[in-house]
Amino acid sequence: MPLTAESAAQQIQDRLKDIQQHIHKVDNERRRAESSIASLVRAQQNQTANSKLKTLLQSKILEATQEEATIRAALAKIHEIRNIRNERRIQARNAGNKEAIRRGALMKMVQLSAQTLPLFVGKPGERAPALCGAIPAESSYVAKVGDNVAALAKGSDEEENWILAEVVQFLHRQNKYDVIDIDEEQKDRHVLSKRKVIPLPLMRANPETDGHALFPKDTVVMALYPQTTCFYKAIVHRLPQMATEEYEVLFEDSSYLNGYAEPLPVAQRYVIAYKPTKKGAGSGSGNLSSA
Amino acid sequence: MSGGPAITLKSQPIDGSNSNSGNAAAQQQQQQQQSGNGSAAAAASASSSSSQQSSAAGSSVPPAQEGTRQNSLQRIQQRKQKVFNLPEAQKFAKLSMYSACQAEGCRCTGWKTPQENRHRDVESSYCPELSEECRNASCRHPLRSHIAHMAQISRTSMDELLGAIIDMENLFMSMQRVEDDDTKKVYLYLFRLLRQCVLTRTQAVIRGPLGDPPFESPCITKAVLSLVFYKYHHLSSTELQTMTEVAKTFLNFLNHYNFESPSARRGDLTLTHEDASTYKINYTRWLVFCHVPAFCNSLRQFETSLVFGRTLLRTVFQYMSQQLKKKCISERDRFPEDKRSIITQMPKFLEALRSELLKDDSPIWDPNYRPPNSFVMQQRKRHQELPPTSTITSASSTSTSAASSGKRSSVGEPLQKRIKKEMPERSISTENQDDLPADVVTRAMKAVAESKTTNKSEILFPVNVSRDENVKAEEQKRAIEFHVVGNAVTKPVGKQTILWLLGLQLVFAHQLPEMPREYISQLVFDTKHKTLALIKENQPIGGICFRPFPTQGFTEIVFCAVTMAEQVKGYGTHLMNHLKDYSIQRGIKHLLTFADCDAIGYFKKQGFSKDIKLARPVYAGYIKEYDSATLMHCELHPSIVNTQFIAVIRHQSEILKELIAQRHNDVQKVRPGLTCFKEGVPSIPVESIPGLREIGWKPQMRPVRASRPLEESSDPEKLVTSFASVLQSVRQHTTAWPFLRPVPANEVPDYYDHIKFPMDLKTMGERLKKGYYQTRRLFMADMARIFSNCRFYNSPDTEYYRCANSLERYFQTKMRELGLWDK
């Protein structure tokens, strides 16, 4: 079904309305929950009979579950908006609508899509799934059309680099990906074997609840160098402490005396497990001379 | 000199009422004013006002402590009113004194009181009989015959005439009192003019070599309001309001300012001979059109600030602003609490005005400069909203003539009221001649603003904001800051500065690996170099190291870099815009840099070009030259605020699109289309296309050649000087070397076989000296010959060929600058 700009805008508008309702609902429920908790505390202090306390608790749990469901519904709507936007973007591209986007705006978009990556909020006891934070994808996993990946592609100078790319399609028969360079100035399509493509996380891990889904300090990783579309070898210097924070990593850079650049912030989405290639992932500053 | 009127007047009984006490009052007043102002300038006004007072001395108005001007006006008015209220017979008697005898053959120009009544005043009790004879020996006709032609005169025109007579008498008194010769002459001239007008019963119009007002464009009022916008538009609306009031107070002061007579300024050594003569002309204009009419309302009055421009203000500004400042201090306490800010802001305002006055390229004096419509309308609206009393209070701040403006209009002179209203409106309408009406533009602006809030495309994709918008937002939030820092040896340098310089040195060293680190350190810490630093979280993340050459009028950009992780965010653009604004504020109009191949793209985006429009001697030997780098140049326009430029242009283009869309809606109509071409008609005149005229298309709205002030018909001497300057610049250009002299035949033997009409810059210089270039065409033809010869003889891949192309472009630029080019 073709998704025109108008219908996409309309669909998004509808969902925004839904979200607004959800937010109001969440607000009401939160207020109710607060008073419930207050009454619960009172009941405990008054040493109410256990059976009565139990029923009270059960009703409160029910309420809390409802609140959680509403919040999740709202998040689902946000996710839908992301998908509609993505869908529309892919269609526009396939229709040959190559809107020239300035580099600065492109970088902003790269940043924004990392900041708005959905946050994984698990049920109690639930472990972070694959492609959440540092958890890698299963070996059989195939990235979906439109998903972002790190791709080891040859540039015009025949040199291989891990670039930020988007999946155009997966060629099942050849077990290869067809990807497009995210940097529109390059406009390069690459057909790459599956092992040269690493899917990027689809969700952020919350450091406060899912710390295990983050790379530990001093891990050697590949990270997107800020304001570029290339991944380079780096060392985790500092982990995010909050869901909204980013990693701080040390990129390899021979122009610094100790071989590493000063710590730079990189979003969870753009920090992936290091995968050695024949000549190593990028060579840091060598390609990063002045602009 | 006929002498008639003056003698006649001397014998007028008006002198009789000018008693000793009146004189004493006048003198006393004069002294007061002189001591109060402590200036020679006041003398002129004092003399004129005192004379008016003396002429009205018959009334019992006590001498005021201050507000002489106001008092004079009041007295004149009272006297006029008194005359207007006289019985008709007395009015006629008064008129007869300035009316020509109607008896045939009689040349008497005014009835003279008989000897026995010489000391009686028709303005008080004396009422001569219609039959009384004129004292003039050659006349001897009765009073009746002096007014015979006025039998049918209406009451209003009679009063008008009487008003003019009183003005004339006052002028005469002033003339006798004033000491300055120039001023005296002017009074005499005006006196005669009025005398003639009364005699012929016509409206007084001043004609002659002085020219007609307005004398300069833009006028002071317009420029001052432009200044308010130019300097203070970024302030909050209350602050802006204050500055507007400050400006109005200044204008009010100017309009009531008593200019020094040219002789009083003779001692002023800062005035050149030329300035002095210009001042004399302007002083005379001021007397005739502004000052005297304020007291003599039968003359048309113009506001000083509306008819004069920069030239006058320049000559008087220094002294005037001193007086205004003094006044501000002395009158501070008498000012209402809520208006005090006007006084505190005045010095700042005066300083800003002064610097704009001195700058040759200040935009506020540019006739084309116009604050945006919204601003103008707001100001106008505010002005209308202001209750009259508040205008007066602001006026009282500076001029003792507190209520004068109110007074004058309340007295009710239809003529002046009309003029006052007309003036600003007329000037506005001429400005907008071929512009869209303001309300159309406002509507479009509103529509643009609205569409921004309802725009849906944003829902799909984030807006593609302009390159520097995010940066400007960060700057606003103070997330980033821009500072110009530099090392010094003569004064202590702060620790912060040194830390930033160190940081900058690191940024440059990392981003410019080709540059030796020592070299970078040397320049960043050199005291003649400065660095514009971009600071984020107290760390320099980018900067431009530059060296200004104020004597040469350019700034050299030495290093320019933004740290890797912060690139492509628009910082580079914003840095450069800040440097541009910084340079413009310091009067520097050119930026030069040697760009390496990676940087050329960046500099091109920032408006730099490889086409160097500066003559080589200006920068050679000053700028550091680098191998394998390209010299690039950017010329700065003093009235562009570069940090606002992108936003302004964007906004303008949005408004323009909206205007086009609106126009499109208005005229939407599908026409059948033209068939004439199918029928074989090769071409038709544009205006015959149906519908074109209806949408407002006009064939050649402006005269095409308006931009060519130096056409053939113009002053040949001027033309020659222009050619000489162009030729000089062309000779000095870096690519001029192949064309400086005729091609030597011994070195290029076959040259003259191919080239039949050789030409070179030396020959052109000789021709110019001989006066050969009588027209622009001749000059251009010879120059074109040089280039075409070169391109004919040499192949395109030669250095010569490139030189010809480059020099031709330069030549065209130079010609265009002087308005000597067609396109």
**Is position A92 within any domain?**
yes
Q: If you measure CA to CA, which chain B residue comes closest to A264?
A: B565
| Confidence check: pLDDT of A30 > 70 | yes
Share of chain B above pLDDT 90, in %: 20
**Is position B690 within any domain?**
no
**Is position A132 within any domain?**
no
- Whole-angstrom CA distances from B436 to A168, B581, B656, B808 are 51, 31, 11, 39
What tens digit of pLDDT does each residue of A158-171 get?
788 899 999 989 99
Catalytic residue among B245, B556, B658, B808: B556
Angle at which helices B41-55 and B20-37 cross, to 10°:
160
Instruction: Give dist(CA B637, CA B618) in Å, integer.
Output: 19
Question: Same domain for B619 and B755?
Answer: no
Report the length, in residues, of chain A.
291
What is the pLDDT of chain B when averaged over all its residues? 77
Question: Same domain for B148 and B190?
Answer: yes
**Is position A44 within any domain?**
yes
pLDDT level of residue B376 (50, 70, 90 thresholds): low
Tokens of B309: 């421009």
| Confidence check: pLDDT of B361 > 80 | no
Tokens of A39: 């009454």
Contact criterion met (CB < 8 Å) for A101 and B462: no
Contact criterion met (CB < 8 Å) for B512 and A290: yes
Question: Same domain for B165 and B242?
Answer: no
**Is position B617 within any domain?**
yes
- pLDDT of A95 reads 73
- pLDDT of B103 reads 82
Backbone angles phi, psi at B541, to 5 degrees: -110, 0
- pLDDT of A55 reads 86
Question: Same domain for B471 and B335?
Answer: no
In the numeric block, the tokens 């700065």 are attached to B636
Alpha-carbon gap: A188 to the closest alpha carbon of chain B (Å): 21
Nearest CB to B464; choose among A105, A112, A288: A105
Lowest mean pLDDT of B54-63, B345-354, B570-579, B712-721, name the range.
B54-63
Q: Which of B325, B323, B303, B299 is nearest to B312 (CA)?
A: B303
| Confidence check: pLDDT of B35 > 50 | no
Angle at which helices B404-411 and B388-396 cross, to 10°:
140
DSSP state at residue B201: T
Q: How many domains does chain A fold into?
A: 1
- pLDDT of B436 reads 72
Q: What does DSSP say about strands A220-224 and A230-238: parallel, antiparallel, or unpaired?
A: antiparallel
- pLDDT of B8 reads 27
Instruction: Give dist(CA B643, CA B560) in Å, integer.
Output: 17
Q: What does DSSP say about strands A247-251 and A230-238: parallel, antiparallel, or unpaired?
A: antiparallel
| Confidence check: pLDDT of B428 > 90 | no
Lowest mean pLDDT of A54-68, A126-140, B62-76, B779-793, name the range.
B62-76
- pLDDT of B11 reads 26
Assess whether B556 carries a catalytic annotation: yes
Task: Examine residue B218 and say whether the peptide bond preceding it is cis (omega within 30 degrees of 0).
Answer: yes
Give the SS3 label for residue B531. Answer: strand
Q: How many domains does chain B fold into?
A: 4
In chain A, residues 55-94 whose CB comes closer than 8 Å to chain B: 85, 88-89
Q: Which of A104, A185, A97, A187 is nearest to B605 (CA)?
A: A104
**Is position A251 within any domain?**
no
- Whole-angstrom CA distances from A133 to A136, A137, A203, B705 are 8, 10, 6, 70
Give the end of a domain, one of B614, B641, B668.
Answer: B641
Question: Same domain for B623 and B734?
Answer: no
Contact criterion met (CB < 8 Å) for B510 and A225: no
Q: Which of B45, B811, B808, B777 is nearest to B404 (CA)?
A: B45
Instruction: Give dist(CA B350, CA B14) in Å, integer.
Output: 45
- pLDDT of B67 reads 57
Contact criterion met (CB < 8 Å) for A5 and B460: yes
**Is position B270 within any domain?**
no
What's the CATH code of the domain at B527?
3.40.630.30
Question: Same domain for B578 and B633?
Answer: yes
For an interface test with A, give the residue of B460, B520, B603, B650 to mutate (most A CBs within 10 A).
B460
Angle at B495 between CA B489 and CA B501, to 5 degrees: 75
Question: Same domain for B132 and B194?
Answer: yes
Question: Same domain for B736 and B795?
Answer: yes
What tens digit of pLDDT does each residue of A60-113 get?
888 888 999 999 999 899 889 888 888 887 887 777 666 667 777 788 888 888
Q: Please answer whether residues B284 and B182 qualify as being in contact, where contact means their C-beta atoms are separated by less than 8 angstroms.
A: yes
Question: Same domain for B619 and B507?
Answer: yes
**Is position A283 within any domain?**
no
Q: What does DSSP say about strands B554-562 and B590-595: parallel, antiparallel, or unpaired?
A: parallel
Domain range enclosing B91: 79-200
Instruction: Give dist(CA B88, CA B260) in Å, integer.
Output: 42
Lowest mean pLDDT of A137-146, A161-170, B447-456, B535-544, name the range.
B447-456
Listed ranges B226-240, B378-392, B482-496; the one with the highest mean pLDDT? B482-496
Instruction: Give dist(CA B41, CA B64) in Å, integer.
Output: 20
Q: Please answer whether residues B719 and B776 qualify as being in contact, where contact means their C-beta atoms are separated by less than 8 angstroms.
A: yes
Question: Which residues are bridge partners to B530 per DSSP?
Answer: B546
- Whole-angstrom CA distances from B678 to A96, A258, B674, B675, B692 are 37, 79, 8, 6, 21
The burial of A139, by beta-carbon neighbours within 10 Å (0-12 exposed, 13-18 middle, 19 or more buried), is given as exposed
Residues 6 or more apart whose CB falls under 8 angstroms from that of A42 comprise none
Q: What does DSSP say about strands B480-485 and A189-193: parallel, antiparallel, or unpaired?
A: unpaired
CB atoms within 10 A of CB B52: 29
In the numeric block, the tokens 């000789």 are attached to B766
Instruction: Give dist(CA A215, CA A236) in Å, integer.
Output: 7
Angle at B448 between CA B446 and CA B454, to 5 degrees: 105
**Is position B616 within any domain?**
yes
Contact criterion met (CB < 8 Å) for B459 and A13: yes
| Confidence check: pLDDT of B395 > 50 | no
Instruction: Give dist(CA B310, CA B306) in Å, integer.
Output: 11
**Is position B571 within any domain?**
yes
- B200 versus A98: which is more confidently predicted? B200
Three-state secondary structure string covering chain A? CCCCHHHHHHHHHHHHHHHHHHHHHHHHHHHHHHHHHHHHHHHHHCCCCHHHHHHHHHHHHHHHHHHHHHHHHHHHHHHHHHHHHHHHHHHHHHCCCCCCCCHHHHHHHHHHHHHCCCECCCCCCCCCCCCECCCCCCCCCCCCCCCEEEEEEECCCCCEEEEEEEEEEEECCCCEEEEEECCCCCCCEEEEEHHHEEECCCEECCCCCCHHHCCCCCCEEEEECCCCCEEEEEEEEECCCCCCCCEEEEEECCCCCCCECCCEEECHHHEEECCCCCCCCCCHHHHCCCC
Interface of B with A (CB under 8 A): 456-457, 459-462, 464-465, 467, 470, 510-514, 561-562, 564-570, 598, 602
Instruction: Give dist(CA A244, CA A207) in Å, integer.
Output: 9
What is the pLDDT of chain A when averaged over all its residues? 86
Give the end of a domain, one of B324, B346, B367.
Answer: B367
Share of chain B above pLDDT 70, in %: 78
**Is position B669 within any domain?**
no
- pLDDT of B524 reads 95
Mean pLDDT of A26-44: 88
Instruction: Give dist(CA B54, CA B173) in Å, integer.
Output: 9
The burial of A132, by beta-carbon neighbours within 10 Å (0-12 exposed, 13-18 middle, 19 or more buried), is given as buried
Lowest mean pLDDT of B226-230, B426-430, B561-565, B599-603, name the range.
B426-430
**Is position B498 within any domain?**
yes
pLDDT level of residue B521 (50, 70, 90 thresholds): very high
Give the end of a domain, one of B599, B623, B641.
Answer: B641
Q: Please answer whether residues B309 and B223 qualify as being in contact, where contact means their C-beta atoms are separated by less than 8 angstroms.
A: yes
- Residue type for position B740: L
Nearest CB to A255; choose among B467, B513, B514: B513
Instruction: Give dist(CA B622, CA B624) in Å, integer.
Output: 7
Question: Same domain for B720 and B798?
Answer: yes
Three-state secondary structure string covering B578-620? HHHHHHHHCCCCEEEEEECCCCHHHHHHCCCECCCCCCHHHHC
Give the pTM.
0.56
Contact criterion met (CB < 8 Å) for A104 and B569: yes
Q: Which of B638, B610, B513 is nearest to B809 (CA)?
A: B610
Domain range enclosing A74: 5-99
Instruction: Give dist(CA A199, CA B804) in Å, integer.
Output: 58
**Is position A28 within any domain?**
yes
Question: Same domain for B629 and B499?
Answer: yes
CB atoms within 10 A of CB B291: 23
pLDDT level of residue B398 (50, 70, 90 thresholds): very low
- Chain B positions touching A109 (Cβ under 8 A) are 462
- Residue type for position B505: Q
- Chain B positions touching A16 (Cβ under 8 A) are 459
% helix / strand / coil in chain B, to the nearest 5?
Answer: 55, 5, 35
Instruction: Give dist(CA B803, CA B787) in Å, integer.
Output: 9
**Is position B456 within any domain?**
no
Strand ranges in B107-244 using DSSP code E only, listed in sequence order: none
How many Cα atoms are found within 13 Å in the side-chain-facing hemisphere of B409? 11
What's the CATH code of the domain at B812?
1.20.920.10
Question: Same domain for B173 and B232?
Answer: no
